[in-house]
Amino acid sequence: MAKSMFYRYLLDNMSTAVLRLDNQLNLEYLNPAAEMLLQVSGKRFMGAHISALFRDTAEAMVVLEESARSGHPFTQREAHLTLHHGQQITVDYSVTPLADEEHALILELQARDRLLRITREEEMYAKQETTRELVRGMAHEIKNPLGGIRGAAQLLERALPEESLKEYTQVIIEEADRLRNLVDRMLGPRIMPHFDYVNIHQIIERVCSLITAETGGTIEFVRDYDPSIPELEADEEQLIQAVLNIVRNAMQALTESGTDEPCITLRTRSVRQFTMGAERHRLVCSLNIIDNGPGIPTHMLENIFYPMISGRASGTGLGLSIAHSILHQHQGLIKCESQPGQTQFTLFIPLEQEHGQRD
């Protein structure tokens, strides 16, 4: 392999975004990592001025021009850049003049958004795992005396002299059963998921039909599907439960708030090279569940996936916790963004499971 081809091969396979600019700050090369970070096509923008890639670049242009003129490198930490289509990103970037080529520059960008998000996700996973273990321990401690209470009530019922007195023992038995069911729900899925190939849109349609039946069709569903998404490896029943929990929460928020023209939007997309935790996935299915309800209070947003956290007086606070556990078993992730008038839950599910099994 020729030396120039070898260097090109290395650049093409780097995870750092690399751009080469000529002395007029026109784009001569960008590697695939740069295309993904800047969300541009190399062929389309080749030869374009660097300002075509970013908005509000006056300050950055001064830095680039000064570096090209003086021949001195420059580094900027946690710079906020606005891409050509308006999205903002946070990056560390460095500018390196090429010594053997007059005024040409190498621009390297490292996305900080992803690193900050990975750190937040790892902290969230650690906290939720600790909470989950605490809940499991507490749940088992609760179930043991409940079994004794129920058994004693059954024995007492047999010894009662009058039939009318059995009404009280039935109350004890029924309440013990209710508490046991609540504890089982707190524990979440207790079996490993059974992976098979499923269609995400069939799962969504099943959930829509269930919610429509519950509400009598009073909530409008807007579907925005990407038909190119392939089947994914998942436990169908568990995934239905996770999506149903989130959509039902949206339905209850819309109903209880009396929102005019209540609407839930369901949007699917495929996302390439997406990082969840410390693992990077080649292809991920993204499902957005968006409602036009009152929103989630800001002070609750960071804790909504913990068990027993609910904004509703009659809520158990288990639906989102169970959904999070199911997504975690699928190596996935749930995010939430909320403001008055719009709440969006985003589910990310890898389209290839490392430990998935297909019968």
**What is the average pLDDT score of the chain?**
82
The string of pLDDT tens digits covering residues 210-266 is: 999 889 889 999 999 999 999 999 999 999 999 999 999 999 999 998 899 999 999
The string of pLDDT tens digits covering residues 9-56 is: 788 888 888 999 888 888 989 999 888 888 888 788 888 888 888 876
Which regions of the chain carry the CATH code 3.30.450.20?
1-113
Q: Write the CB contacts of 3 (distance below 8 Å, at least 6 apart in sequence).
A: none
By C-alpha distance, which of 268, 291, 282 is closest to 202? 268
pLDDT of residue 135: 67
Distances (CA, A) of 139 to 185, 257, 334: 10, 33, 25
The number of angstroms, rounded, from the C-alpha of 333 to the middle of its chain's C-alpha atoms is 4
Is the pLDDT reported for residue 334 higher than 80?
A: yes
SS3 track for the chain: CCHHHHHHHHHHCCCCEEEEECCCCEEEEECHHHHHHHCCCHHHHCCCEHHHCEECCHHHHHHHHHHHHHCCCEEEEEEEEEECCCCEEEEEEEEEECCCCCCCEEEEEEEHHHHHHHHHHHHHHHHHHHHHHHHHHHHHHHHHHHHHHHHHHHHHHHHCCCHHHHHHHHHHHHHHHHHHHHHHHHHCCCCCCCCEEECHHHHHHHHHHHHHHHHCCCCEEEEECCCCCCCEEECHHHHHHHHHHHHHHHHHHHHHHCCCCCEEEEEEEEEEEEEECCEEEEEEEEEEEEECCCCCCHHHHHHCCCCCCCCCCCCCCCHHHHHHHHHHHCCCEEEEEEECCEEEEEEEEECCCCCCCCC
Q: Write the CB contacts of 85 (distance below 8 Å, at least 6 apart in sequence).
A: 39
Radius of gyration of the chain from Cα atoms? Answer: 27
pLDDT of residue 7: 73
168 phi and psi angles, rounded to 5 deg: -75, -40
In this structure, whether the domain defined by 191-351 belongs to CATH 2.60.120.10 is answered with no
Residue 187's pLDDT band (boundaries 50, 70, 90)?
A: low
**Which residue reads 């939007």 in tokens?**
265
pLDDT of residue 340: 92
Cα 348 to Cα 350: distance, rounded to the nearest angstrom: 7
Single-letter amino acid code for the residue at 98: L
Count of CB atoms within 10 A of residue 346's CB?
16
Tokens representing residue 338 in the block: 């909320």
Pair 112, 118: CB distance under 8 Å: no
pTM equals: 0.60
Residue 359's pLDDT band (boundaries 50, 70, 90)?
A: very low
Pair 63, 33: CB distance under 8 Å: no
pLDDT of residue 193: 77
Which regions of the chain carry the CATH code 3.30.565.10?
191-351
Cα 177 to Cα 180: distance, rounded to the nearest angstrom: 5
Fold of domain 1-113: Beta-Lactamase (3.30.450)
Single-letter amino acid code for the residue at 143: K
Residue that wins the pLDDT comparison between 174 and 143: 174
